[in-house]
C-alpha cells in the first residue's frame, strides 16, 4: 500500500515497477505519478453505467469505477468557457450527469491536492473538489488500484 500526498509513504520505486509492467490494467499502462498529480490513464474508456444513491457512480468499461460523494461541477467546455451546473449526489440532484452515458474519457487527472478532473469526448468537464469533513470521491480499478480524496485536501493512492 502506498499513500501519496504532502507526505510520500512507501517505496515509490516499487510502485514505478508495477506501473511499468501494466499492473494488470487493461490499458497499455497503469496510472502514472507526477509531482502534483496522477494521470489515471482512463483515456478511451466509455461510461457504461451510471448509478445514484448517496453517491454518483460512473462505471467505465475495463473495470474502472468513479464514485463521487461531494458536489461536482459539470460543464460543457472548461469552467472558464462554458457555464457549469453543480451536481449534488447526496440529494440525488444529478440528472445532468446522464449526458455522460456512453461518453469516452479523454483525460482523467487526480491531483494530489485531492481534486479530480475528468474530460469527455462530448465536451463535458467534470470536477470534484475536496471536502473538509469526508472523502469527496474515489476511483477504483483493476489490480487493486484505488485513489481517494482525503478530508481536507490530500490524495491517497494504492495499487495491488
Task: Render pLDDT for 83-141 as a digit per residue (tens, 0 to 9).
Answer: 899 999 999 999 999 999 999 999 999 999 999 999 999 999 999 999 999 999 999 99
C-alpha cell at 65: 469505477
Percent helix, strand and coil across the chain, each rounded to 5? 15, 40, 45
Residue of 112, 130, 108 lying closest to 121 (CA atoms): 108
Examine the pLDDT at 4 and tell me if it is beyond 90: no
Most confidently modeled of 1-10, 58-67, 80-89?
A: 58-67
Helices (H), the chain: 12-20
- Put simply, whether the predicted model's pTM sits higher than 0.85 gets the answer no
Amino acid at each position: 500500500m502506498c499513500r501519496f500526498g504532502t507526505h510520500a509513504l512507501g517505496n515509490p520505486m516499487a510502485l514505478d515497477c508495477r506501473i511499468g509492467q501494466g499492473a494488470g490494467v487493461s490499458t497499455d499502462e497503469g496510472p502514472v505519478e507526477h509531482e502534483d498529480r496522477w494521470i489515471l490513464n482512463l483515456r478511451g474508456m466509455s461510461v457504461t453505467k451510471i448509478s445514484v444513491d448517496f453517491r454518483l457512480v460512473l462505471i467505465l468499461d475495463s473495470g474502472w469505477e468513479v464514485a463521487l460523494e461531494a458536489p461536482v461541477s459539470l460543464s460543457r467546455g472548461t469552467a472558464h468557457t462554458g457555464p457549469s451546473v453543480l451536481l449534488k449526489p447526496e440529494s440525488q440532484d444529478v440528472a445532468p450527469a446522464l449526458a455522460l452515458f456512453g461518453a469516452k474519457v479523454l483525460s482523467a487527472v487526480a491531483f494530489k491536492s485531492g481534486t479530480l478532473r475528468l474530460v469527455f469526448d462530448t465536451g463535458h468537464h467534470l470536477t470534484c473538489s475536496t471536502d473538509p469533513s469526508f472523502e469527496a470521491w474515489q476511483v477504483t480499478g483493476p489490480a487493486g488500484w484505488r485513489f481517494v480524496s482525503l478530508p481536507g485536501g490530500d490524495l491517497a493512492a494504492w495499487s495491488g
